[in-house]
Amino acid sequence: MPISNFNRRRFLQGLGISAATIPFVIGLDSLYAKADAPPDMKKRFLFMYTPNGGLYSHFRLRVHGPAMDISDGTALADPNLVYHPLQANAANLMVLDRLSWVSARQEYQTAATAPDKTNHPGGHQKGMGSLLTGTTLQGGTNDFGNAGLGSGISVDQVLATKVFSSKKFPSLEVGVQVDENLTDRYVDKRVSYDAPIKPRAPNCDPFALFASLFGTPGGTNNDKALRTLLDGSVLDNAYKDFARLQPKLSGADQKLLQQHADSVRRLENQLSTVVDCGTVMPPTAQAGLDTSNATATHKWAMTPANFPLVGAMMTDIIVEAMACGLTNVVTFMWANSEANLGYPWIPGFDTTSTRGHHDMSHARDPNLVLIDQWYAS
C-alpha cells in the first residue's frame, strides 16, 4: 500500500499484535524506526452543578494575573474560601474567574435593549438555561412561572452525539432531589438539552439509576461468567503478545515491555478487586426500604433528610459507570437552581436559622460559605 496510508498502528497489526496490546508496545523503538505521538489518554466530561450560586467574595482567589500558579495550595489556604477543602488537590485544579454568559445578561431582558431586538424574559433564571447551551431562553412569557427553556443543544450532548455515541450510554443525566414541579420555573430544573426547548430529565433515584446501568443487582450466573470471560480474554491476549515479542526486542525495550506487562497485571487486579463490572455493588438500602418498589425508592430519594446519602450513592454509581466504560459524559445536578434546602448535617451550620438555601442566597447568609465548602468537599 502507499506509504502515506501505512501508519504505525497498521504496521503493528501487521505483526499480529492485538488491539489490546498496541497501546503498550506502540512506543518501542525496536519495532520501527520512528514513533509518532502516543495515543491520547481517555477523555471524560463530568459536569457538577450546585444550586443558588455562591458568594463571590469567598469564591475569588486572592491572586492576580491572567494565569497564576496555585499548585502549591497557598492560594487556597484561607479557611473562608469555597475551595479550601480542595487545598490538598490544588495541583490538579484550574479556577476560572470572570466568565460571562452574554445571553444571560440584563440587556437581553427586553427587546428595547437586546442586541437581537427580541424580548428574552427570565430574570436570573437565564443563567440555568444558558449554562451549558450558551443561548438565550426561548418560549417564555415572564420572569418566573413560565420563563421558557434554553434555545440550543448543551455541550454535554454535543460530546455525547459527536464523540462518544458508541458508548452503551452516550450520556447520563443524574440529579439529587431536583424539583419535579415543572409548571413553575421549569428552566431551573434542567441543565442538559438535546435541542432548543428539548431538555433532558435527570434521574434522581439511585436505585433506578443503578438498575438501568448494571441491571438488577446481582444478575444471573451466566451474566457474571460472560463478563469475567470477556475481561479475562482481553488481558490474556495482551500477555501472549508480550511473550511473543520479547525475543524481538532490544534489552532496553524488553525492560520497558516488562513494565507494561506489570501495568496490565495491575489493571487485572483492579478489574477484580476495585471495580469488577460483573459484580458492582448496588446502593445499600436503609432498613425497611423495599428496593423492588420503584414508588418507594423514588419517595425515599426525594426526602430532604436523605439528601447527603442520595448524593453519595449517585457519586459512587457515576464512578462505577465511568470506570466500567459504560459512559464518558455525565451531568450531575445537586438539586435545582432555586432549591430551598436546609443543611443541618454540615458541622458548624447554624441550625437556628429558619432560612432555606435559596432564601440564604438572597440574604447573604453566613451559612452559605459552609454550604459551598460542603459541596466542594
Measure the CA–CA gap between 180 and 302, rounded to whole angstroms. 10
Average pLDDT over residues 271-291: 74
Given a contact cutoff of 8 angstroms between Cβ atoms, the answer to whether 340 and 359 are in contact is yes
pLDDT higher than 90, residue 51: yes
Given a contact cutoff of 8 angstroms between Cβ atoms, the answer to whether 353 and 143 are in contact is no
Average pLDDT over residues 344-364: 90
Q: What is the pLDDT of residues 317-335, one digit of tens each?
A: 999 999 888 999 999 999 9
Average pLDDT over residues 140-163: 88
256 CA to centre of own chain:
34
Strand partners of residue 375: none
Q: What is the pLDDT of residues 172-227, one digit of tens each?
A: 999 999 999 988 889 999 999 999 999 999 999 999 999 999 876 655 555 555 55
pLDDT for the residue numbered 231: 54
pLDDT higher than 60, residue 159: yes
Share of the chain above pLDDT 70, in %: 76
pLDDT for the residue numbered 6: 47
pTM: 0.73
Q: Closest Cα to residue 244, out of 36, 38, 12?
A: 12
pLDDT band at 273 (very low <50, low <70, confident <90, very high): very low
Angle at 280 between CA 274 and CA 283, to 5 degrees: 115
Least confident of 15-19, 177-181, 215-219, 292-296: 15-19
pLDDT higher than 50, residue 274: no
pLDDT higher than 70, residue 269: no
Strand partners of residue 222: none
Strand partners of residue 199: 193
Q: Closest Cα to residue 173, out of 148, 156, 155, 149?
A: 156
Measure the CA–CA gap between 183 and 222, rounded to whole angstroms. 46
Three-state DSSP at 240 gives helix
Q: Is the dihedral angle over the CA atoms 360, 366, 369, 375 positive or is it negative? A: negative
Strand partners of residue 138: 149
pLDDT higher than 50, residue 304: yes
pLDDT higher than 80, residue 376: yes
Distances (CA, A) of 71 to 76, 185, 258: 9, 40, 33
Average pLDDT over residues 331-359: 92
The mean pLDDT of the chain is 81
Average pLDDT over residues 257-284: 64
Show the cell assigned to 313. Answer: 450513592
pLDDT for the residue numbered 267: 54
Share of the chain above pLDDT 90, in %: 42
Average pLDDT over residues 259-263: 66
pLDDT band at 155 (very low <50, low <70, confident <90, very high): very high
Average pLDDT over residues 92-108: 81
DSSP state string for 61-103 = -S--SSS---TTSGGG--TTSTTGGGGGGGGG-----S---GG
- Extended strands (E) in 146-269: 149-150, 172-176, 192-195, 198-200
Given a contact cutoff of 8 angstroms between Cβ atoms, the answer to whether 63 and 81 are in contact is no
pLDDT for the residue numbered 221: 57
pLDDT higher than 80, residue 366: yes
Three-state DSSP at 357 gives helix
Q: Write the Ramachandran bin of 139: left for phi over 0, alpha for psi from -120 to 50, otherwise beta.
A: left
pLDDT band at 289 (very low <50, low <70, confident <90, very high): very high
Average pLDDT over residues 45-70: 87
pLDDT higher than 50, residue 270: no
Give percent helix, percent strand, percent coil of the chain, each to the nearest 5: 45, 5, 50
pLDDT band at 27 (very low <50, low <70, confident <90, very high): low
Measure the CA–CA gap between 310 and 304, rounded to whole angstroms. 10
pLDDT for the residue numbered 146: 79
Three-state DSSP at 176 gives strand
Rg (CA), the chain: 25
Residue 138 class from Cβ within 10 Å (0-12 exposed, 13-18 middle, 19+ buried)?
Answer: middle
pLDDT higher than 60, residue 136: yes
pLDDT for the residue numbered 33: 44
Could you state, in order of their start, the residue ranges of all structural domains in the chain?
Answer: 3-41+219-273, 45-60+97-215+282-339
Measure the CA–CA gap between 138 and 125, rounded to whole angstroms. 12
Least confident of 193-207, 259-273, 344-358, 361-375: 259-273
Give 81 or 146, the one with higher predicted confidence: 81
pLDDT higher than 60, residue 250: yes
